[in-house]
Structure 1
Amino acid sequence: MLRNAKFPLTLSFKNVYFFQSGIGILANSSLLVFHIITKHQIHRPKPTEIITCHLAFVHIVMLIITLDILSEDMFKSLNFPNELKCKLLFYLGRVTRGLSISTTCLLSIIQAITISPSSFYSSRFKYKLTRHVAIALSCIWLLTLSSNSFLVIYTVAHSNRTNLLSVSKYCSLFSMNSVIMALFFTLTLSQNVFCVGMMLLSSMYMVIFLCSHQRKSEYLHSMSISPRISPAKRATRTVLVLVSLFVIMYCVDITISSFSTVLWKYDPVVLDIQSLVGNVYASVSPLVFISSDKRIIGILQNMIDIITILTS
């Protein structure tokens, strides 16, 4: 009876999740295509634009991978064995989530350096940011791929064994040795704490910068000089919104994940809730980027005007 009662709830979660993933994939794809097209018009793209493209790509892959039913159909058509399918999907899912937090951290740091005054110590890196960003992204990929590589060993398809932890619809993890689990937990936690800590520090600096800039704007306004919101200030606000959203969703996700891991038992409903919470940032972040970019808003407005003219 309880199982039958959970089925409609699980189905409703799946419908919401499909809608969320569809919006996220469409928004991230639009953001990525826009930056790829405009890249040919700009000889030197901004470091933040490179990171934005990377973040959009990571989120597209993340949303596709965590789309359980779609992923299952895709790998069935390729005739992948269940064991390989579990290892590949779970490993890539963990990698993309690690890339998401690391890339967001890098974005907040780069934006803090970008707005820093010329007299500030970090300003010497401004003119070499593009090269540094490429190196940083390469290091992030290498670290994330290597730190999650051991999961390939412990990930298996569902079976009748009792020492397994269900982590997805058809995937489980072996019960790990206490030393290995402590090592994995420490490595993952230290990486995440470092990234979140750097986000908060850079966000504090950007908030201080915005407050200082706001006081100057009020002074200019009192002198009858019309203040204008600079692109750097608009980009800084966007990054602050993204960091705030990520930290909130990360805290909720880590709470659910830690509670389930301690109990060594995952409920299907808990899995669906965790999937929804874990992908809120990946689905909403491109909408934040799009809403704060006047170029994209102008293109959308022109498209709406053309459609209106054609349909009238």
Structure 2
Amino acid sequence: MISLDKLLSIAFFSQTVIGVQGNFFLIYLFTFMSFTGQRLRPIDLILTQLALANSLVLLSKGFPQGMAVWGLKNFLDGIGCKIVFYLHRVARGLSLSMTCLLSGLQAIIISPNNTTWITLKVRIPKYIIPSSIFCWIFYMLQNIIILEKLQGPKGTRNISEIKKYGYCSVNATNIISISSYVVVFFLPDAVLMTFISFTSGYKVYLLHKHHKRVQQMHTAHFSTRAFPEIRATKMILVLVSTFVTFYLINAILTVYMHSMTPRPWLQHSSAFMSSLFPMVSPFVLISSDSQILRYYSAVHSRRNPHTGNDSTI
């Protein structure tokens, strides 16, 4: 009979492999289309970075956590532990910020075509790259403190001063103060989550208005399926609601875990929940965004130029 630890490690490894494959598929698809001279949507740059951030979250959390559950808790030294944990924190922040940019951009795209919104729609593509660079720099600087506070399990000497988190440890006598934690880590996340919630509510409002307008017209020609922006918006709403749900559950578990001596079930639950969105998001995008399927068809036709001639034999 398979032990619980082995089942947990299999779950972490499976989550990592499945999620990384889905995210790498999106990265490959957008990169291939870009290098072949195809014109991508402004939103595709954000989706590429979101897929990259999700891949880093999975690789820096799921794989080490699976190794730790398997019993190999000392496979990382102090430097390796700091690098892996730092990458996870940066990638987690980028996943949040890219989801925020994605939600905001989609809200602007489907907004009414009045003078103010049209001007913003024209200008917004120019701000995507600077905004993305700012997010990368911000989270890389924000999490530098991780390099000082963490240490590998091998470096643990005074057990009373150490909180263990699977494959890494934190010196309990040198933890950042509560007020500093709120300002440096909690406040930026809270602002982004508030913005995501606001833009999501705004998009629901616009979709509701559109639905009422369609009902008044009483014609199939104006069905919501005729508007790609509406389909894309529904896709983003599914993606954002999935992110918010998993993020809040993981945040509650993390706060509870930091308020006490970490227990194995808390560590495993928090780690698994933190990687659920990175695993699920690429498949939500692939199944919901018709443009991604068209990109794939274009890639497939380029790599197999003679496929369409088989029917003439």
- Taking structure 2 as the reference length, what is the TM-score of the superposition? 0.84
TM-superposed deviation, 1:268: 2.6
Q: What is the aligned partner in structure 2 of residue 48 from structure 1?
A: 43
**Is residue 122 of structure 2 the alignment partner of residue 124 of structure 1?**
no
**Equivalent residue in structure 1 for 2:251, among 254, 258, 280:** 254
**Is the deviation greater in 244-253 or in 41-50?**
41-50
Q: Is the 8 A contact 1:24 1:282 kept in 2?
A: yes
Residues 34, 281 of structure 1: alpha-carbon distance in 2 compared, 3 angstrom cutoff? same
Q: Which runs of 5+ in 2 are unaligned?
A: 302-306
**Equivalent residue in structure 2 for 1:165, among 160, 163, 167:** 163
In 2, Cα distance between equivalents of 1:224 and 1:143: 48
TM-superposed deviation, 1:259: 0.6
Amino acid at match of 2:201: M
Amino acid at match of 2:262: Y
In 1, Cα distance between equivalents of 2:270 and 2:142: 22
Q: Is the 8 A contact 2:9 2:65 kept in 1?
A: no
**Is residue 147 of structure 2 the alignment partner of residue 152 of structure 1?**
yes
Residues 224, 235 of structure 1: alpha-carbon distance in 2 compared, 3 angstrom cutoff? closer
Give SS of 2:170's match. Answer: strand
Identity fraction in percent: 25
**Is residue 286 of structure 2 the alignment partner of residue 290 of structure 1?**
yes
TM-superposed deviation, 1:223: 4.3
**Is the deviation greater in 183-192 or in 247-256?**
183-192
Q: What is the aligned partner in structure 2 of residue 183 from structure 1?
A: 180
Amino acid at match of 2:187: S
In 1, Cα distance between equivalents of 2:220 and 2:125: 38
Q: Is the 8 A contact 1:64 1:70 kept in 2?
A: no
**Is residue 293 of structure 2 the alignment partner of residue 273 of structure 1?**
no
Q: Is the 8 A contact 2:10 2:66 kept in 1?
A: no
**Equivalent residue in structure 1 for 2:208, among 199, 211, 214:** 211
Q: Is the 8 A contact 1:9 1:269 kept in 2?
A: no
CA RMSD of aligned residues (A): 2.8
Number of matched residues?
291
Alignment of structure 1 residues 237-248 onto 2, 5 Å:
237-248=234-245
In 2, Cα distance between equivalents of 1:260 and 1:224: 53
TM-superposed deviation, 1:167: 2.2
Give SS of 1:266's match. Answer: coil
In 2, Cα distance between equivalents of 1:31 and 1:266: 36
TM-superposed deviation, 1:62: 1.4
Q: Is the 8 A contact 1:165 1:266 kept in 2?
A: yes
Q: Is the 8 A contact 1:64 1:71 kept in 2?
A: no
Residues 38, 160 of structure 1: alpha-carbon distance in 2 compared, 3 angstrom cutoff? same
